[in-house]
């Protein structure tokens, strides 16, 4: 069983619609959760961090965390073609150590 | 301010040669991380530095891989006797470890694309 799981996609989303990305993790003691965006040929770019159960909003992005269900999600509202990228879910089990990444979900926003 | 920088951006080497990859973290960031991303795959953790010490080397694939960090700043990842399976993008990230101020967040450099022929 992979430690961080995501649907690989591609997730096709019409421009202006909401993209919904899901991530599950296996380590119950995980403390910190992150979403990165990675354009083809580029390095990951941090877009959201979340540490507590519930929702966290930043612009068009909303991260949702449910530690009891070991589930974290990302919503992208009013999707734009520039949002087309691979979105990586990352989990940190301890306070200061490594991130464990999912394989990523490819999002394609169609005009 | 300046982000994480890495050099070289691209490196082509022959099988069996040694290579050194360099990472300059964000100024003042205590923690530094190396990851590897093979083509079309996810990120694999290699090693983590806190200051100049490496509490977690669990991801280094073999004894051909080593890393050091000096002056709580620059880090060098060395791969000896390179093999074709070492071809990947090597990514460096850093974080501040300042509690309550996004200290857990890791910021990535542009990566070094290594091709072993």
For each of chain B's 117 residues, which pLDDT tens digit applies? 589 999 999 999 999 999 999 999 999 899 999 999 999 888 999 999 999 998 888 899 999 999 999 888 999 999 999 999 999 999 999 998 777 767 789 999 999 999 999
Cis link prior to B8 (omega < 30° from 0)?
Answer: yes
Query: Distance, in angstroms, between A4 CA and closest chain B CA?
Result: 11
Nearest to B108 among A43, A100, A104 (CB): A43
Please indicate whether, in this complex, the C-beta atoms of B43 and A101 are within 8 angstroms of each other. Answer: yes
What CA–CA distances, in Å, run from B60 to A88, B13, B35?
22, 20, 9
Nearest to A46 among B41, B56, B107 (CB): B107
Instruction: Kindly tell me if the per-residue pLDDT of A107 is higher than 60.
Output: yes
Residue range A28-77, pLDDT digits in tens = 888 899 999 999 999 999 999 999 999 999 999 999 999 999 999 999 99
Please indicate whether, in this complex, the C-beta atoms of B104 and A49 are within 8 angstroms of each other. Answer: yes
pLDDT of residue A96: 65
**DSSP label at A77?**
S
Query: Distance, in angstroms, between A44 CA and closest chain B CA?
Result: 6
The mean pLDDT value for A74-84 works out to 98
Nearest to B42 among A42, A46, A101 (CB): A101
**DSSP label at B62?**
S
């Amino acid at each position: 069983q992979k430690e961080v799981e995501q649907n690989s996609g591609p997730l096709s989303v019409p421009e202006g619609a909401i993209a919904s990305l899901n991530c599950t993790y296996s380590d119950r003691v995980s403390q910190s959760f992150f979403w990165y965006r990675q354009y083809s040929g580029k390095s990951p770019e941090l877009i959201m961090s979340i540490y507590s159960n519930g929702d966290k909003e930043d612009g068009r992005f909303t991260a949702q965390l449910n530690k009891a269900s070991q589930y974290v999600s990302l919503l992208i509202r009013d999707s734009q073609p520039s949002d087309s990228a691979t979105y990586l879910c990352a989990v940190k089990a301890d306070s200061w150590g490594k991130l464990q990444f999912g394989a990523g979900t490819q999002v394609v926003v169609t005009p | 301010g300046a982000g994480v920088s890495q050099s070289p951006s691209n490196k082509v080497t022959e099988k069996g040669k040694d290579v050194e990859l360099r990472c300059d973290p964000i100024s003042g960031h205590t923690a530094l991380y190396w990851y590897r991303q093979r083509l079309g795959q996810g990120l694999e953790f290699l090693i983590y530095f806190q200051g100049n010490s490496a509490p977690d080397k669990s991801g280094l694939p073999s004894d051909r891989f080593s890393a050091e960090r000096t002056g709580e700043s620059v880090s060098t990842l060395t791969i000896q006797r390179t093999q074709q399976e070492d071809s990947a993008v090597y990514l460096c990230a850093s974080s501040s470890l300042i509690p309550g101020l996004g200290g857990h967040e890791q910021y990535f450099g542009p990566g070094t694309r290594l091709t072993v022929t």
